[in-house]
A and B are shown apart, each in its own frame.
Chain A
Amino acid sequence: DAGVIQSPRHEVTEMGQEVTLRCKPISGHDYLFWYRQTMMRGLELLIYFNNNVPIDDSGMPEDRFSAKMPNASFSTLKIQPSEPRDSAVYFCASSQTGRMNTEAFFGQGTRLTVV
C-alpha cells in the first residue's frame, strides 16, 4: 500500500475562498482522522470517522469547517470561507480496529496558506 495519500501538498488561497483538502486512507483501515498543526497550538484533532461515519467532531473549530467521508477510500475537509488564521498544515491519518497498539499512519500533510 502507498500509505495515506493527501492532496494537494500545498495550497495557497485568498481569504474568503473555499478550500477542499483530500485524503485517501490506507486500504482496510476503518478509522480516519483529520488533524491540524500550527506553531501556536501544536497538533489538534479536528474530527475522526469510523466506517465512514463521523464519530467526534468536537475539535472542528467553527461552522466554516466541514468534513465528509463518502466511502471507505476517500475523505474531504472543506473550509468555506477560508480565513488567514486557518493557515496551517492539515494531516490525515488512518488506523485499523482490533490492533491493540492502534498505530496511526499519517499522510504527508497539506500546507494551507490563506492570504
Chain B
Amino acid sequence: GEDVEQSLFLSVREGDSSVINCTYTDSSSTYLYWYKQEPGAGLQLLTYIFSNMDMKQDQRLTVLLNKKDKHLSLRIADTQTGDSAIYFCAESKGSGGYQKVTFGTGTKLQVIP
C-alpha cells in the first residue's frame, strides 16, 4: 500500500517543542520528506531523510525515522508563531530517474503565543 497517515491537528505554546508524527506503509520507501505549507502558499520542502538513516538534525528541526515501525517524526525545538503552518509527511520510492512521491494529508500546527 501507499498510505501515509498523519494526525490532523496539533496545538503547542510558543517556546515549547512540537512533535509531528507520521506513519507510512511502504517498506521500500527510499526517501522520506517533510514539507511545510504556509497559509495561501504552496508546499515547500523543509527537510528529508534517506531511508537508511535513523536521525537527521537541521537547526531547530530533528527528524527521527523508525523503519521497523514505519514511523517518521518531525520535532521543532523552541516553536515560534512563524512555525504555524500545515506540515506534510511524504515518502518516495522507485528506481532509475524517478521516484514517486506520496503525501500524507497534513498536520495543521497552531502555535499559541
Residues of A participating in the B interface, judged by any CB pair closer than 8 Å: 4, 31, 35, 41-43, 45, 50, 91, 93, 97-98, 100-104, 106-109
Contacts and interface: CB of A to CB of B under 8 A. Distances in A.
B103 interface: yes
Contact of B45 (A4, A43, A104, A107): A104
B102 to A, nearest CB: 8
B38 to A, nearest CB: 10
Given A42-B105, A43-B106, A102 B92 contact: yes
A43 B88 contact: yes
A108 B41 contact: yes
Given A102-B92, A104-B45, A43 B103 contact: yes
Interface in B54-92: 88, 92
A23 B101 CA distance: 20
B98 A50 contact: yes
A103 B45 contact: yes
Q: Is the interface of A mostly helix, strand, loop or mixed?
A: loop
Q: Is the interface of B mostly helix, strand, loop or mixed?
A: strand
Given A42-B104, A50-B98, A4 B42 contact: yes
B40 interface: yes
Given A42-B103, A93-B42, 19 more contacts: A35-B103, A41-B105, A42-B104, A42-B105, A43-B88, A43-B106, A50-B98, A91-B42, A91-B43, A97-B98, A98-B97, A101-B48, A102-B98, A102-B99, A103-B33, A103-B48, A106-B44, A107-B42, A108-B42
Pairs A-B, 9 closest by C-beta atoms: A42-B105, A106-B42, A97-B97, A106-B43, A102-B99, A43-B103, A103-B45, A108-B42, A101-B48
